[in-house]
Amino acid sequence: MKPLVNAEQMREMDRRTIVGGISGFDLMERAATGAADFICKDSPDLSSISILAGVGNNGGDGLALARILDKRGVRAHVFLVGDASRMSAESRRNLELLAQTSVEVTRLDAVSGITAENEVWVDALLGIGLDRELKGIYADTMTFLQNQARVYALDVPSFVQSDTGAFMGPTYRAHATITFGAPKVGLFLEPTRGLRGELEVVDIGIPGDIADDVGHRAYLVESSDLVRPRRPADFHKGRAGRVLIIGGSPGIVGASVLAGKAALAGGAGLVTIGTTRESSASIGLVHPTLLSKPLLDAEDQIEHSLAEADVVVIGPGLAPNDAALKILEAARVVSKPVILDAGALHLLKDRALPSMCVITPHPGEAAMLLESSVEEVLAAPLEAARKLSLKFNAIAVLKTSRTLIDDGRLTYINSTGNPGMAVGGMGDVLTGILATQLLEEGFTAEACAKAVCLHGHAADVATKNFGERGLDPLDLIEALKRLWPELEVQ
């Protein structure tokens, strides 16, 4: 999994590296050299370039980039934005060095002062740490970049809050973002992810022990993280594990069936649907691979069924009634992973949860649980996921276009999936896959993150055959089964 940092962590890594003997100027030189290497490779016929540079360290990177490109025969024009008296020593040195080159430097007070007509531009205005709305010349330059053919952003696009991915003013679509030292969290969150373009990470020489000691804000989960060992020859269904899914109230029984079929496709040995007598009869007839029990109508069987299971799921297709409350209360004391989904999430207020609990809200459910609004959840999903985890002392799986998994300490950001998943039943399939991943790897946020990634990866594979429009949850389950040969290794 790929570690991601916030602005504070990146600054601390830089600071400790400088204390350790690598100067700030050298770090800036390494960043600019890496950016120049990427730009020249990406635009091999580049003859001229314009650079919007601020007066902070991000601007210093841009000034160093202009000098390096000039040495490589690329004509560079720098437009300097901001009060030059506020420059850091490293940035000022880079500005002074430009006097020894053919780089043209123009102090820019308004976009009307831009005279260059280059097709390639570099955004080196602000970098990480932006925490206020863009105004004046800074907002105007973002609008200006909207109409440029190719824009490279240094570290992060200047309209982005690098810790959250939130937009702080007018936006543009970058051709590529060249980030330094370590990838920034906000670059992997929507809506920024859709505008940052290709992402290039430049190694600037942060020592590994410093990076490990400072730590990371989040991890990106990718399909390459899903490889696992092949099962041994003597494997049996008992070792594969038992999943109990409680739900399937009349009229919404399909949700529990989808979760059950996904759990089987994910590798569970036995899957039982605990439901009503009416639903239990239909499940047994139509889906013979799924076991069923009338637990919602047979309170005396609940304790034994919970004890038999290795992982318990409560919620898919579950009506939030008295029977559901009794199930939830009985599950509170079990010492095994319990996933609370859909209908069960409506019963959580002021209620103690199982000690090993996973909650799986979509933004509407998250807003209900946090007593906020959907808009607030989507505006700050990292914060919402962390609040959910801490409030309920559970692993929170916040289902968005880039689903987040948070255990109160670390956040995992999923990288897979597509708009074809915007259809009813996909969440039930995820719940089934979550159950099997917990069977395989135990109760950890990392296991939940892999389940989310696997869910999205299966959807990506399914869309290659069916397209995004009309993608069915059953298509995803079928794709999941076909994935295993490539994910399993000796």
CATH number at residue 242: 3.40.1190.20
57 is in an annotated binding site: yes
Query: Which tens digits make up the pLDDT trace of 18-30?
Result: 999 999 999 999 9
- pLDDT at 36 (0 to 100): 98
Q: Do residues 139 and 31 both lie within one domain?
A: yes
Parallel/antiparallel/unpaired status of strands 270-274 and 291-293: parallel
* 260 and 291 belong to one structural domain: yes
pLDDT at 328 over 80: yes
465 is in an annotated binding site: no
Any domain includes 40 = yes
Q: Find the mean pLDDT for residues 168-180.
A: 98
Instruction: Determine the Cα–Cα distance for residues 205 and 155; give it in Å rounded to an integer.
Output: 15
323 in a domain, yes or no?
A: yes
Cite the beta strand spans of 330-458 per DSSP E: 338-340, 357-359, 395-398, 404-406, 411-414
Residue 73 lies in a domain: yes
Whether 2 maps to a domain, the answer reads: no
Amino acid 287: pLDDT: 87
| 251 assigned ligand-binding residue | no
158 marked as part of a ligand binding site: yes
What is the reported pLDDT for 116?
75
> What pLDDT is stored for residue 351 in this prediction?
85
- The answer to whether residue 263 is domain-embedded is yes
pLDDT at 481 over 80: yes
pLDDT at 490 > cutoff 80? no
Bridge partners for 319 per DSSP: none
Q: How far apart are CA 299 and CA 313, in angstroms?
A: 17
Report whether 255 belongs to an annotated binding site.
yes
Rounded-to-integer distance, Cα 422 and Cα 415, Å: 16
Q: Is 123 annotated as a binding residue?
A: yes
Which of helix, strand or coil describes residue 75?
A: strand
Q: What is the tens place of the pLDDT at every residue in 388-409?
A: 999 999 999 999 999 999 999 9
293 labelled ligand-binding = no
Asked if residue 276 and residue 186 are part of one domain, the reply reads no
- The verdict on whether residue 128 carries a ligand-binding annotation is yes
Average of per-residue pLDDT across 464-480 = 94
Mean local confidence (pLDDT), 304-327: 95
Count of the separate structural domains present in the chain? 2
pLDDT of res. 241: 97
Question: What rounded mean pLDDT belongs to the chain?
Answer: 95
310 and 187 in one domain?
no
Q: Give the pLDDT confidence score for residue 143 in this predicted structure.
A: 97
Q: Is 216 annotated as a binding residue?
A: no
Percent of all residues in the chain with a pLDDT value above 90, rounded to a whole number: 91
**CA-to-CA dists, residue 186 to 6, 323, 409, 461, angstroms:** 8, 42, 18, 26
Please name which of 318, 328, 307, 320 lies closest in space to residue 259, comparing C-alpha atoms.
318
Is residue 285 classed exposed, middle or buried when 0-12, 13-18 and 19+ CB atoms within 10 A define those classes?
exposed
Residues 334 and 233 both lie in one domain: yes
Q: Which residues of 403-436 are buried (b: 16+ CB within 10 A; e: fewer)?
A: bbbbbbebbbbbbbbeebbeeebbbbbbbbbbbb
Looking at the structure, tell me whether residues 211 and 265 fall in a common domain.
Answer: no
Q: Of 215, 249, 283, which residue is a domain's last? A: 215
Which of the residue ranges 20-29, 318-327, 358-367, 420-429 would you say has the lowest mean pLDDT? 318-327
Asked whether residue 384 falls in the same domain as residue 443, the answer is: yes
pLDDT of 353 above 90 = yes
| Mean pLDDT confidence for 144-158 | 97
Q: What is the pLDDT of residues 65-99, one digit of tens each?
A: 999 999 999 999 999 999 989 998 999 999 999 99
- Same domain for 403 and 368: yes
Examine the fold and report which residue of 215, 248, 280 is the final residue of a domain before the chain moves on: 215
Judged against a pLDDT cut of 80, whether residue 174 lies above it is answered with: yes
Q: Is 82 annotated as a binding residue?
A: no
Q: pLDDT by residue (tens digit) across 414-469?
A: 999 999 999 999 999 999 999 999 999 999 999 999 999 999 999 999 999 889 99
High-pLDDT (> 70) share of the chain, % = 100
pLDDT of 115 reads: 82
Instruction: For residue 387, tell me if it sits in a domain.
Output: yes
Residue 282 has pLDDT above 90, yes or no: no
The reply to whether 295 and 405 lie within a common domain is yes
- State the pLDDT at residue 72: 98
| Residue 1 resides in a domain | no
Residue that is last in its domain, among 197, 215, 233: 215
* Residue 399 in marked binding region: yes
pLDDT confidence of residue 101? 97
pLDDT tens-digit map of 255-279:
999 999 999 999 999 999 999 998 9
Report d(CA 289, CA 396) in Å as an integer: 30
* Residue 402 assigned ligand-binding role: yes
Q: Is 443 exposed, middle or buried (0-12, 13-18, 19+ CB in 10 A)?
A: middle
Same domain (yes/no): 188, 324: no
- For residue 112, the domain's CATH number is 3.40.50.10260
Confirm or deny that 408 is annotated as ligand binding.
no
**403 appears as a binding residue in the annotation:** yes
Sign of the dihedral defined by the CA atoms of residues 170, 173, 175, 180, in that order? positive
On whether 280 is known to bind a ligand per the annotation, the reply is no
Q: Are residues 135 and 182 in the same domain?
A: yes
Q: Are 103 and 15 contained in the same domain?
A: yes
Of 440, 46, 29, nearest in space to 266 by CA = 440
Cβ atoms within 10 Å, residue 231: 13
More confident residue, 314 or 250: 314
What's this model's pTM, rounded to 2 decimal places?
0.93
Q: Is 61 annotated as a binding residue?
A: yes
pLDDT at residue 285, rounded to an integer: 83
Tell me if 133 is assigned to a ligand binding site.
Answer: yes
Q: Is 428 annotated as a binding residue?
A: yes
Does 317 belong to an annotated binding site? yes
Tokens of 114: 């831009």
Give the model confidence (pLDDT) of 57-74 as tens digits: 999 999 999 999 999 999
Is it the case that residue 7 has pLDDT exceeding 80? yes
Give residue 431's domain range.
224-489
What the block records as the tokens of 37 is: 């290497």
- Annotation-wise, does 138 bind a ligand? yes
pLDDT for position 281: 85
Q: Is the pLDDT of residue 286 over 90?
A: no
Tokens, residue 212: 């490990």
